[in-house]
Amino acid sequence: MTITEPAVEEPIEEMRERQGLLARFRSSWAQWWFAYAMLSPVVIVIAILVLYPLAQGVWLSFTDATGKTMGDVRNPPSYEFIGLKNYVRILSGELKNSVGQNFWSVFGRTVIWTGANVFFHYTIGLGLAITLNRKFVGRSLYRIILLIPWAMPAYITASSWRFLFNETSGPINAILSIFGIAAVPWLGQPIPALVAVIMVNVWLGIPFMMVALLGGLQGIPEELYQAAEVDGASPWQKFRLVTMPLLRPVSSTVILLGVIWTFNMFVIIFLVTGGGPASSTEILVTFAYAEAFTVPARNFAVASTYGILILSILVVFASIYRKIAERSGDSVWS
């Protein structure tokens, strides 16, 4: 008789888990059908706009689809499944462009590009946010001015900077010449060109970091600073022991976002240098574009493979980053 007792006592949750999947769905449907119905438009739209193209991209990366085999209104598609061949060709470095750039050389540059950009975005953005977090005359005007880079269309930004970098008549070289420095071929040699595009993107990305971090700073209670002052903390100690730890939830989120955005930042490089000179400022996204769309029969299969590789790299990065952030006790991630 005592054997049946635990079954009666069993919590509903556990009982649910014992039921079959279908039965569980049925009971959940009976209870929540209205919520599902309300969710369905979003689910359908996401499926059409995100999941379907993603699945299509994954599928194409396993084929030999080009503009010619892709088919059109008159001809049916004629591309074939070729397994992991695209991945092998790209990851082995076999697929390279005419000046010898391959996936790994471009990946290395993409890491430098992303690291340098996010580092300067964060440090300069934090500096400006701390400055703007104090009360001084004209603060709101400063804030608006500092937001301008963000509000400007990328095309305008790119062409303005291309003008500034002009080797013969650009203002930057004109200023350098005042100090007796010879004209720098900003967009003509590999290293200056990489420095140049990073400068443009740093300029462009600071406002976002500044605004996000300013929001984080304003959420830190004033009392903590007062308490630190009572304990005799120096400004540096206050920054290190109060500001930084309390800013961490915001910081870790914006840095992750910054890395993803910068890694995939196409327009600036495309519009300022076009990936040149001689492919020396190409990052993965611009490289994939050049490899896919500047050949006559557009190589959709290789382009998709690059897309999936870039996505995989970012997913791996984001999950590792999340683990680290969780371990250091950020509540926003759990």
List residues near another protein by CB under 8 A: 33-34, 37-38, 40-41, 44-45, 67-68, 70, 72-75, 97-100, 162-163, 165-170, 183, 185-190, 272-274, 276-279, 290, 293-298
Nearest CB to another protein, comparing residues 201 and 243: 201
* Min CB(308)–another protein separation in Å: 21
Say how many CA atoms lie within 13 Å of 234 toward its Cβ.
2
Nearest CB to another protein, comparing residues 45 and 55: 45
Nearest CB to another protein, comparing residues 193 and 228: 193
* Min CB(212)–another protein separation in Å: 32
* Min CB(280)–another protein separation in Å: 9
Distance of CA 53 to the CA centre of its chain: 19
Nearest CB to another protein, comparing residues 131 and 166: 166
Q: What is the DSSP string of 145-204?
A: HHHHHHHS-HHHHHHHHHHHT-TTT-HHHHHHHHTTPPPP-TTTSHHHHHHHHHHHHHHH
CA triplet 162, 166, 172: central angle to 5 degrees? Answer: 95
Pick the closest to residue 206 from 260, 145, 248 (CA basis): 145
* Min CB(172)–another protein separation in Å: 12
* Min CB(95)–another protein separation in Å: 9
Distance CA 166, CA 243 (A): 41
Q: Give φ, ψ of 63 to 5 degrees.
A: -120, 180
Nearest CB to another protein, comparing residues 46 and 324: 46
CB-based contact 124:206 (threshold 8 Å): yes
Nearest CB to another protein, comparing residues 111 and 278: 278
The amino acid at residue 184 is: V
* Min CB(167)–another protein separation in Å: 4
